Structure 1
Amino acid sequence: MINLDIVKSTYEGKTSEENGKNLKRYITNETQWTEAAGFPYAGTYQGFDEIEKKVFVRLGCEWNGYNFAVEDYVAAGDKVFAYGSYSGTNKATGKFFKARVAHLWILKEGKIISFEQFVDSKTVSDVM
């Protein structure tokens, strides 16, 4: 698979479970995953277990309908950008949000080396 196809497979599966399995397949124990400063899950996490615990489990527990609608991708060499919008309803407050976001993926030899999120964190934090 080319890098663009790998990244697309983590967003464009038929179910979120399929996307998660695809993501896990391409992450190594050394993969660095960075959630933006100011975002509720801000920080840098390493390896699938930590990423799942610190980000994905919380997303599932704290949000209804949390989604990243990809608008488009830009790929160059070992880098792939995906950009679009997050949306969802916070379970605790019942408030809905929509925020612009971009993800930068860096890959090497078919594996994800790093992920970095760029997002309007205030929009997300305000509904929490």
Structure 2
Amino acid sequence: MKPLKTIIVMLLLLSISTYNCNAQDVKADVEKMHQLYIEMINNSNLENIDKLYTANASIRNSDATMINGLENIKNQYKATFDSGTFTISLETTDVSQLDDNHMFVSGTFVYSKTDEPKGVLKGEFVNTLKNVNGDWKILKSYRYLETTDNASIINSVYELFSKGDIPAVLALMDDEIVWNEAESNSLADGNPYIGPDAVLNGVFARIGERYKSFTLKDVKLHEMSNNQVLATLHYVLEMKNGKTYTIQAAHHWTLKDGKIVGFQQYADTKKLADSEKI
């Protein structure tokens, strides 16, 4: 008969071996599910949703909105796929099994729209998975975007504008940006300008036609709460007759997920009006 100590050691080794085997199986199942999710996003394949989510699943989007129920989740993905094509990569950072039927999975993602090279979103996800008839599915999903330095984005706007790289400036704007010129500014006749094309044609193009040169100086950025940035600055306007005006201004920017969604100009509109009389 084997000594009791030997039997205990053998049982312990057996349990460790069984645990490691189960852990590897679980991680393999998670990676298989993640590959299914990547295939869904990269190929706009709605058929994978039933394989990925439980009937009562919920999603907390990166903008803090909540989607509850499989049909609503399908509708959200359909609207996303109707707006364009996307790619995503996932990296699993932790897998923790709670019991035979539930586990936590966390990781990081990089998500981008294929026709918008600058529209890349990075962040983290935390999912609760449920075992449904032998298949692991998402019960709850939480997405969090990587913290963005909004002031640095707005600083890029001014640097790009100063270089004359207007396409790059427009690329930093949300598709539904709401842009308002200061009241009594002649460019305010189109307020609000909705979308980058409206800003380009209604504001930037008219500035290019009106002035010999339009430059900015003394730009100071002030990070505010709720994804807002205040900029104080001066415009230096060189008229086509050679006369120059320096005009005090302030810009109030609003951002969401690294994109500019709102702009409000404040300016010395009397000086702007005086410059236009020449």
Same fold (TM over 0.5): yes
Q: Which amino acid aligns with 1:103?
A: H
Which has more strand, going by share of residues?
A: 1
Structure 1 match to 2:158: 11
For structure 2, the residue ranges without an aligned partner over 5 or more in a row are: 1-147
Alignment of 1:39-118 (within 5 A): 39-42=185-188, 43-77=191-225, 78-91=227-240, 94-118=242-266
* Counterpart Cα distance in 1 of 2:198 and 2:221: 26
RMSD: 1.6
* Counterpart Cα distance in 2 of 1:106 and 1:28: 11
Secondary structure of the corresponding residue to residue 185 of structure 2: coil
For structure 1, the residue ranges without an aligned partner over 5 or more in a row are: none
* Counterpart Cα distance in 1 of 2:180 and 2:216: 16
Q: Deviations over 1:15-71 (max 9, x none)?
A: 121xx2332122122100000111120122010101000000011111012112143
Give the conservation status (yes or no) of the 8 Å contact 1:9–1:22. Answer: no
Q: Which of structures 1 and 2 has the larger relative contact order (alpha carbons within 8 angstroms, sep 6+)?
A: 1
* Counterpart Cα distance in 2 of 1:84 and 1:94: 22
CA shift in 2, pair 1:60/1:21, >3 Å: same
Structure 1 match to 2:34: none
Q: Residue 125 in 1 paired to residue 252 in 2?
A: no
* Counterpart Cα distance in 2 of 1:108 and 1:51: 18
* Counterpart Cα distance in 2 of 1:41 and 1:24: 18
Tell me the TM-score normalised to structure 2 length: 0.43
* Counterpart Cα distance in 1 of 2:214 and 2:259: 26
Structure 1 match to 2:169: 23
Give the conservation status (yes or no) of the 8 Å contact 1:28–1:113. Answer: yes
Q: How many residues align?
A: 125
Which has more helix, going by share of residues?
A: 2
Secondary structure of the corresponding residue to residue 167 of structure 2: helix
What is the percentage of aligned positions where both structures have the same residue? 29
Secondary structure of the corresponding residue to residue 236 of structure 2: strand
Task: Give 1 or 2 for the bigger CA radius of gyration.
Answer: 2
Residue 85 (structure 1) shift: 0.4
Secondary structure of the corresponding residue to residue 38 of structure 1: coil
